[in-house]
Chains A and B, each alone.
Chain A
């Protein structure tokens, strides 16, 4: 599966999160570009990234920073 994440570094929180099937790779890539264009036009700085893993749980494990607060990072360990 593919996961398109829009993340606000300043607040440390995810703004938008979308998942795509493996067969929807082009849609995911198109959506990433459209999101970056939209943010750039608005002058908003956000991290926009696609991650790929078998499940959402796997992404949450390998890229915890997007999903968890500082405290949660340590407490869940």
Chain B
């Protein structure tokens, strides 16, 4: 990739933004994405071999997703931070905190983007951005509930309007996304607070109340999805 300049890549980004690309553009984009391979493989191998987690890797962001991001945001192609990345899904927030802590330790200087307290259009997760060999690799760490919400948001964006994922979509945006994002946060914060209390000191009913709350959340999701899909 050394022979291709940053300005050439950013001009390619302009053409992607305009939706006007040919074979040569796709080949150039492919070369640019492949230039992240070394960094991607370093990060994924370290997570697998040293941390013993099994992330799902995505060595290169799709052309569709890159084009959409360029249209949506005022950034250049060379500024996109998640060309290469991987995802780890944890059972709950306690494990999420542990995983993020281990990643911070393994990848010194990594940037932590915590979207749990300040969600991005309802999206909650922790992203760890690692720099290696001059390239950035994004590690998404989501709890099972955060992951379910994100998958629903993405699926609704696919089927209804891509803008839904980013808070747009106008009247087409299902209100279920905002409401359930808050409920996920509430359930997880409650669960997190419980983990701070030694099990022997917890009232017996508290754990089951968290489970009841989660069950209600799933029931609500199911009911609203049924309403949306007309079944």
Contacts and interface: CB of A to CB of B under 8 A. Distances in A.
Interface string A29-42: 10011001100110
A52 B56 contact: yes
Interface residues of A, number: 35
A43 to B, nearest CB: 11
Interface in A31-77: 32-33, 36-37, 40-41, 45-54, 58-59, 61-65, 68-71, 73-75, 77
Interface string B9-44: 000000000000111001100100010000000001
B26 A37 contact: yes
A70 B152 CA distance: 7
Contacts of A62: 55-56, 87, 89, 147
Interface string B46-63: 000000001111111111
Interface residues of B, number: 41
A50 B54 contact: no
A39 to B, nearest CB: 9
A12 B74 CA distance: 28
A48 B27 contact: no
A1 to B, nearest CB: 11
Contacts of A18: none
Chain B at the A interface: SS class: helix
A74 B221 contact: yes
Contacts of A51: 56-58
Contact of B218 (A47, A54, A61, A74): A74
Nearest to B217: A77
Contact of B151 (A37, A54, A65, A75): A65
Nearest to A62: B56
Nearest to B54: A54
Interface string B142-162: 000001100110111011001
Sort A-B residue pairs by CB-CB distance and give the 9 closest, nearest first: A52-B57, A62-B56, A9-B158, A53-B56, A49-B62, A47-B64, A65-B154, A33-B30, A65-B151
6 contacts: A47-B62, A49-B62, A53-B56, A70-B152, A73-B155, A77-B148
